[in-house]
Amino acid sequence: MAAFYGPQVAGWFALAQRVIGIPMSLVGQAVAQVYMGEASWFVRENPVALSSIFTKTARKLFFVGLLPITILMISGPWLFSIVFGTNWWTAGLYMRILGLMYLVQFVVVPLSQTLNLLERQDIQLGWDIGRLLLVLSVIVAAHSKGWSDEYAVGMYGMAMLVFYTALYWLSLCSLKKM
C-alpha cells in the first residue's frame, strides 16, 4: 500500500488492521491453543468426531466476532474520528470496508492448523502461495488501473475473504475425507 498509495494510506490501513487485529489475535490465540489440544487428541483417538469439533468451534467464533465487528463496520469512521482524531476517519472507513473479511479471518485463523494436524501441508502450502500471489496481484492491478485507495482496500478485502473462506472449506473437506 505504501509503495503505490503513499505513507498516509499505509498509515490508515495499518491502524485499521491494528485496532481489529490485536483483540482478534488475543482471542484467536487462546481459542487456537484449546482447539489444537482437543483436535490433536481427536486425530489420534476419534478422527471422525474432529469434523464436529471444527464446525462447532467455527460457529462459536462466528457468533463471538459478529457483534464487535458489526459495530466497527457500522460506526468505524465515526469511532476512529473520536478516538484517534478527525485525520483518522479514513482508517475507520477501511475498517468498514474490511469488516466482513475480518470476521471470516477471526473464524478461520484459530482453526488454520487443522491441515497441519491432518498432515496436509501440501494443501496449506498451496493456499499460502495462492494467497500471496493474489494479494500482490490485487494491489498491483489496483495501482496500475488507477483505482482509488478505498477501491484497492476493498479489492484486497475481497481477495482475502475468498482465500480465508477457501481455507475453511479445504480444512473441512480434508476432515471429511478422513
Count of domains in the chain? 1
Q: Residue 111 has what DSSP assignment? A: G
C-alpha grid cell for residue 51? 469434523
Q: Give yes or no for a contact between 132 and 160, defined as CB atoms under 8 angstroms apart.
A: no
pTM reported for the whole predicted model: 0.89
- How confident is the prediction along the chain (178 residues), in pLDDT tens digits per residue? 888 888 999 999 999 989 888 888 889 889 999 998 889 888 888 888 888 999 999 999 999 999 999 999 999 999 999 999 999 999 999 999 999 999 999 999 999 889 988 889 999 999 999 999 999 999 999 999 999 999 999 999 999 999 999 999 999 999 988 7
- Which residue range(s) make up the domain with 18? 2-176
